Amino acid sequence: MLSSSSSTRPVDEDTTKYNPLHKSAEADKFQIFEQWLRDNGAQFPQLELRQYDKQNDTTNNNHDDNEGLCYDTIDNEAEEKKDGGASDMGQSADSVAMMSLDNNNDATAIDDGSNEMRSVHATSPIPPQTVCVSIPKSCLITVEMGQQTPIGKSILHSDVELDAPKHIFLMIYLLWDRKVNGSKSFFAPYYNILPQTLRNMPIFWNAEELQYLEGSHLLTQINDRSDAIREDYERICSISPHHFPTIASLDDFRWARMIVCSRNFGLLINGHRTSALVPHADMLNHHRPRETKWTFCEERQCFTITTLQSIQAGCQVYDSYGQKCNHRFLLNYGFCVERNVEVDGFCPNEVPLELGLDGFGGVVLFGENLLNEGGFFGGEANKECRDKKLAFWTRGEHGGSHMFGGGGAGGLGSSFNALAAAVSASSMSGEGGSSSSSSFSSRRDLLHAMMDPGTASSLREAFDRSPSSAPSSYRHAVRHVKRVRVCVSNNENTRILFSMLRVLACNSAEIDHISRLGTYSAGPSTAAQRLFGLPVTGAPGGQPSSSSTLRTCRDIRYPINPYNERRAMELLLDITGRALSKYPTSLAQDNANLLDETAYPKYSNKRNAKLQVRGEKEVLHHFALWARTAMHVIDIILHELSEERKADNGGARATTAAHNNEELEFDYVIQAMEDDDDCHFTILRYCSDVLGAVRRDELGKHPY
């Protein structure tokens, strides 16, 4: 196990593995590359490039060490940028057997194009604040250069919309120059050392490798990414039908997209914001916390990398690709960090949760309607209530337009990924446009039909074209779904998740109450609302104060009451359970699997997939525990309240057996949580502070 600090990181001492660069064609490529850079003024005097040796990797994937709750629409990962942050993978990078680029002991590994994992090492001790890499502007490929190519100009003059507009011009330059100028290109030495297969990138995984991600939303994102690349390719072909297909095939385009995605730097060059491919600087692997920083230095007119700490001779020199969830590392860079934890203990791994409402007032979790019609979440019979609830749930979104587009942005930038589900032709025609939800059985049939993935998507298309002409039952069945990414933290996205759960858990009186709440208005507030600096209720009479803005389902930051909060926690337990049930293996099984480095070799696609799903399950288990703990604490509060009520009514509270049981007392339970080292601080703080404030408020309402 390597430390994240260079001072304790082992130094590679087996110099026999790092012979001078002259023995293989592969080494020649790198020698030519480095010489080309030096000839053009680049400097990296204390660095050498190395290549990882192949290691039991059945997928030909040799890797070394080792993107708050956002609505999906702001979770745009299409154009991931390096951010000058730092990595964890460094810890494993050094532990991987490596060889110098001229080491022809493993010529086969080199020649099959699969040994694509290179790294940068210090050849002598490097003090902090040393500019260890300096690449002149003339060696950079920038967005503007892509815009000046014939295809770039055609794109600029067209009104075509592309998924990756910023990356596209770098891709275009790379593909165009390679094809048109070939070995005569100024950048040919750079093109020659770029990885050829990118087999570690999930969009290039085979079916067996993708199956390792079963249960993960990442599978959908991989598909979406693949589709988006194909669509961009087709759009550019439509602008340049005779030229572009001769420059790049779809496979070339896919390769270029992932090269740019994993290697570009967002820069400010002489006051102009752009993106660039920076030869050599893009050979540094990711590690956190960061040990180097990079920038475009106007004085030198060079891209520079500067050390932030001393780096020992032989140690790998890292860059940080930023603090990111493993799904971003995997999707955009083709690796996962084994232990993705920041120095302060924060783990950025996330999992997306999908929750929503149908027009019957029924809760929808991961696209499935809760059908407990006898229970609370299956929907409300009261039309007025469900209309209000739906109005609140969709408040702030663009009416209609987002509903069927699969991810259109809402007015507040939130993802309103409303899903229109298909129903069978018979059920649609059978409804005849009459009021729909007249009976439970027809509604149930309708919802069942909607859950069937085989139901007619053509009807959905017809409905999308003309929603207003669809039968009202169908319109009511349309599910309004939002997605939120959560991690093990009480960050903004956690707060949004809890807010949405509270709204979904509202009964008629509660939805009336939150609909009346104003935002940031002065006036009377409860102790708990003051304590948390939370929005306060509007003036009596139900109108928000004039200075308030309308609140949305993201704004219910404080429990509405203990009963609603308990229902919200039931929903949280349900949604985490549903998400966990999608995976074929348990978290315990994953942990056991990852101990087996023969079956799950380091840096293999199989291991990376396992790391990804394990990270998701860790988050889901955290929230399941949160929900269970909260329900227990709320039950204790409700018990105390009922005891108070009895006492207020003249009962003998103190003599009840239950009351003598200290395990049923709020303070006792909170103290036990504080004493428990395993109790996560977010759960403790929520139970102690948020539920504690709810309890104080409720007790303050006595006598009843």
Residues that bind ligand SAM (CB under 6 A): 63-66, 87, 89, 116-119, 195, 200, 262-263, 282-283, 285-286, 333-335, 603
Cα–Cα distance list, 602 to 146, 226, 341 (Å): 37, 26, 18
Q: Compute the distance between CA of residue 22 and CA of residue 29 in angstroms, rounded to an integer.
A: 10
Cα–Cα distance list, 322 to 79, 80, 202, 264, 288 (Å): 14, 10, 20, 13, 8
Nearest distance in Å: CB 604, ligand SAM: 11
Q: Cβ closer to ligand SAM: 261 or 669?
A: 261
Identify the bridge partners of residue 363 per DSSP, sorted by sequence position. 357
Q: Cβ closer to ligand SAM: 306 or 585?
A: 306
Q: What length does the chain have? A: 704
Q: Cβ closer to ligand SAM: 117 or 155?
A: 117
User: How many degrees, rounded to 5, is the angle at CA 165 between CA 159 and CA 169?
Assistant: 100
Q: Compute the distance between CA of residue 554 and CA of residue 557 in angstroms, rounded to an integer.
A: 8
Q: Dihedrals φ, ψ of 123, to 5°? A: -90, -20
Nearest distance in Å: CB 666, ligand SAM: 46
User: How many degrees, rounded to 5, is the angle at CA 252 between CA 605 and CA 225?
Assistant: 55
Q: Judge if the upstream peptide bond of residue 703 is cis by omega within 30 degrees of 0.
A: yes
Q: Compute the distance between CA of residue 330 and CA of residue 219 in angstroms, rounded to an integer.
A: 11
Q: What is the DSSP letter of 688?
A: I
Nearest distance in Å: CB 577, ligand SAM: 33
Contact 214, 583 (CB under 8 A): yes
Q: What is the DSSP letter of 126?
A: B
Q: Cβ closer to ligand SAM: 526 or 608?
A: 608
Nearest distance in Å: CB 603, ligand SAM: 6
Nearest distance in Å: CB 337, ligand SAM: 6
Q: Cβ closer to ligand SAM: 117 or 446?
A: 117
Nearest distance in Å: CB 83, ligand SAM: 13
Nearest distance in Å: CB 285, ligand SAM: 3
Other Cβ atoms within 10 Å of 213 Cβ, number: 25
Q: Determine the residue with CB nearest ligand SAM.
A: 89
Q: Compute the distance between CA of residue 452 and CA of residue 455 in angstroms, rounded to an integer.
A: 6
Q: Cβ closer to ligand SAM: 334 or 559?
A: 334
Nearest distance in Å: CB 329, ligand SAM: 8
Calculate helix-pair angle for 562-581, 492-504, nearest 10 degrees. 110
Nearest distance in Å: CB 489, ligand SAM: 22
Q: Cβ closer to ligand SAM: 63 or 254?
A: 63
Q: Cβ closer to ligand SAM: 46 or 340?
A: 340
Q: Cβ closer to ligand SAM: 83 or 512?
A: 83
Closest CA to 392 of 499, 503, 534: 503
226: Cα within 13 Å, side-chain hemisphere: 12
Nearest distance in Å: CB 287, ligand SAM: 6
Q: Cβ closer to ligand SAM: 194 or 506?
A: 194
Closest CA to 51 of 85, 19, 82: 19
